Structure 1
């Protein structure tokens, strides 16, 4: 049975508003909060509620090391999404984030403008514009992907490419229970559990046509 996440968000909002005093929220704030529930993007929806209620959820959730580094907003939003994302993907959700076991990296998969993107957010920046990235199946120790990724967001993000190039890399990890992303030139490795990734990106595959 599919879960009606729109109903859940509206229910949570109703409960929240109910426990607030009548004078605590203006009519305008209430209307804006209700509009937030209509936003499909998890990151944009969180940002919308933050703006309405002036409650920087990101600052509360993010680890001290992330705040101290003053990482780009997009990257911090991806880490927030990864910590809040669950196996029960929202229907028509076009962005998925998966945190590494040590929470120092997060995979970000999305479909924007009918183009698939496969990226890696980092809690520490890299200094190279192009970096070789290895992805290995932890069960077989076999490398399933070994290509150069482009640096972005001041070195806090790596981009595998867009469209068919990203799709090719994504398909190599969709059905692997556990995999390791290694950056040999930076001497860094991040272990990820799949957590039903194939089902979580179903809406992305449908929207982007793969």
Structure 2
């Protein structure tokens, strides 16, 4: 039974699986009425960014939230929809939150595994070697390539091409293509915002 635990997407259910396998007594606090899965801020940022998109433009789009006159810390997001996918569709998202760079996929439906092997190609050349990306949220909608130095290493190689393509052991992500025209200039703005 413990062998199946790492495949569980929800962190709490995964922990419960390990507790059951080890025979640890489980305390079940009363569930709040209509408990909702926690949705990460990147989902909201991408939705707000994509609301500004012109229908004919599928390239990466950049927005900064909140408005410059607001006292809250600024958050920058760059996103693009997967080409050829019908709405709702997956998005590739680059963000700068709290001065930390992140590279993530925001999915249109929950991922089944909590880790998946992904390799990104720019104009058919590998951007980096394939490695495990991690599902971050209970809802299974955010797949994280990494943050900080790991994300920066990837972002440095993502600009200057026409197309980005994913290869993955997770069939729903395998073959996704994104229009990368102009992405290098947007990554430069993210670099300045996150100060790397």
Aligned twin of 1:160: 145
TM-score, scaled to structure 2 = 0.60
Q: Is the 8 A contact 1:85 1:96 kept in 2?
A: no
Q: Is the 8 A contact 2:160 2:184 kept in 1?
A: yes
Unaligned runs of at least 5 residues, structure 2: 1-36, 55-59, 69-74
Of 102, 114, 117, 1:117 maps to 102
Q: Is the 8 A contact 1:71 1:156 kept in 2?
A: no
Larger proportion of helix? 1
Structure 1's consecutive aligned runs of 4 or more residues displaced over 6 angstroms after TM superposition are none
Aligned twin of 2:176: 190
Aligned twin of 2:33: none
- Answering whether residue 188 of structure 2 is matched by residue 202 of structure 1, we say yes
Q: 1:152 to 1:193 in 2, by over 3 A?
A: same
Q: Is the 8 A contact 2:164 2:178 kept in 1?
A: yes
Number of paired residues? 139
1: distance between equivalents of 2:61 and 2:110?
A: 31
RMSD over aligned CA atoms reads 2.8
Following superposition, the deviation at residue 183 of structure 1 comes to 2.4
2: distance between equivalents of 1:201 and 1:148?
A: 23
Following superposition, the deviation at residue 99 of structure 1 comes to 1.5
Of 119, 126, 135, 1:143 maps to 126
2: distance between equivalents of 1:196 and 1:71?
A: 33
